[in-house]
Amino acid sequence: MCKFKRSTSEATLYTRSDSEGDLIIVSIYVDDIVYTGSSERMLTEFKREMMQRYEMSDLGLLHHFLGMGILQTDKGVFIHQSKYAKSLLVKFGLEDCKPSIHSIAYW
């Protein structure tokens, strides 16, 4: 549908490219759709097509998906699991432990 190609390795992942080499990537999981791409025009067209065909809400930028936190900044997109880590600390009675901070290098 909509000229998308389904990934051969991931059943929920679809891609579409145009003659100019722009690309849109869509992941569908149950009732959630996450999409990104290299062309604002293609993203706008995709959103319009989907909203015409289906009853949908645009929730804006992605903040959470499949239990992961998503932080989008000018420097990039960062994925974290702080909610999951906190739940593990509570589960094992370690929520009051002293934290250890380590720096992470981003390339």
End-to-end CA distance of the chain: 37
Average pLDDT score over residue span 45-67: 87
Q: Is 57 within 8 Å of 35 (Cβ atoms)?
A: no
Contact yes or no for 52/43 (Cβ under 8 A): no
| pLDDT tens-digit series, residues 64-78 | 888 889 998 888 889
Q: What is the DSSP string of 46-104?
A: HHHHHHHHS------S--EETTEEEEEETTEEEEE-HHHHHHHHHHTT-TTSPP-----
Sequence spans of domains, the chain: 1-60, 61-94
Match 């239990």 to its residue by tokens.
Answer: 67
Q: What pLDDT does residue 33 have? A: 87
pTM greater than the 0.75 cutoff: no
